[in-house]
Amino acid sequence: MSLLSKYVDKKLTAYQRELIDIHYREVDTMYRKMRGWRHDYRSHIGTMKALLKSGELDELWRYLDMLDTDLKTVDAAVKTGNPMADAILNSKLSLAAEKNVPVKTSVQIPVKLSISELDLCVIIGNLLDNAIEASLTLPEEQRMVRVYMDTKESRLYISVTNLCAGKKQKKLGNRYESTKGDGHGFGLVRIDSIVERYGGYLSRNSEDGAFTTEILLPLN
């Protein structure tokens, strides 16, 4: 193995560890919020009963509205039944919401997949991180990310589209030129290597104001 290959492998390994750490912290934060809300459940019920008993209906309605808003920040928006997919998707949806990036999802995937949880985390995490980051180049009212996952002829189909500022991106070989630095480039390399290892298919398409990545992975 050449020195260049060793250097690239070392950088990719370090990047993957950093990426998994970031994803883990995001997922852990989401579940901490959920556990905290459940812990406070009895207190919320007690407060509402007291307001109802004292006849303070306006205050009760305000309290209910506040709880409804708070619950929306911790409720799992995507429920596929696959624990890892649910965890990483919902953590990224929470991140997108914090950055005011609307995400439209249509996700139907098997509970069990042949792809490892680590590889699934790397693919989904990178795709959504890149899509969210690209969306931030637009005014809030123009931002949009669309995530579609389903099974097609015994293969897992993943499609992520985001609106973005600027014209069609330029290609360097088989990959679009990255404008986000080395970290972004390593994310693309990791996705490519995983898809290739599983004998899957990957397509990226850049148009004026939009970017789409499509991936097909065998289920067996």
Which CATH number does the domain housing residue 85 bear? Answer: 3.30.565.10
166 falls within a domain: yes
Full residue range of the structural domain in which residue 152 is found: 77-218
In this structure, which amino acid lies at residue 88?
Answer: I
68 falls within a domain: no
Query: What is the reported pLDDT for 101?
Result: 94
The answer to whether the beta carbons of residues 190 and 122 sit under 8 Å apart is yes
Query: What is the reported pLDDT for 115?
Result: 85
3 falls within a domain: no
Query: What is the reported pLDDT for 203?
Result: 93
The answer to whether the beta carbons of residues 120 and 85 sit under 8 Å apart is yes
Query: What is the reported pLDDT for 156?
Result: 92
Query: What is the reported pLDDT for 151?
Result: 87
42 falls within a domain: no
Torsion sign across C-alpha atoms 8, 14, 15, 17: positive
| C-alpha neighbours within 13 Å on the C-beta side of residue 100 | 7
Query: What is the reported pLDDT for 181?
Result: 47
Query: What is the reported pLDDT for 89?
Result: 85
Query: What is the reported pLDDT for 103?
Result: 92
Domain count, the chain: 1
Query: What is the reported pLDDT for 70?
Result: 62
Query: What is the reported pLDDT for 182?
Result: 46
The answer to whether the beta carbons of residues 113 and 77 sit under 8 Å apart is no
Q: What is the pTM of this model?
A: 0.66
130 falls within a domain: yes
Partners of 210 in beta bridges: 163, 207
Residues of the chain with pLDDT under 70: 1-42, 68-77, 81, 111, 167, 169-185
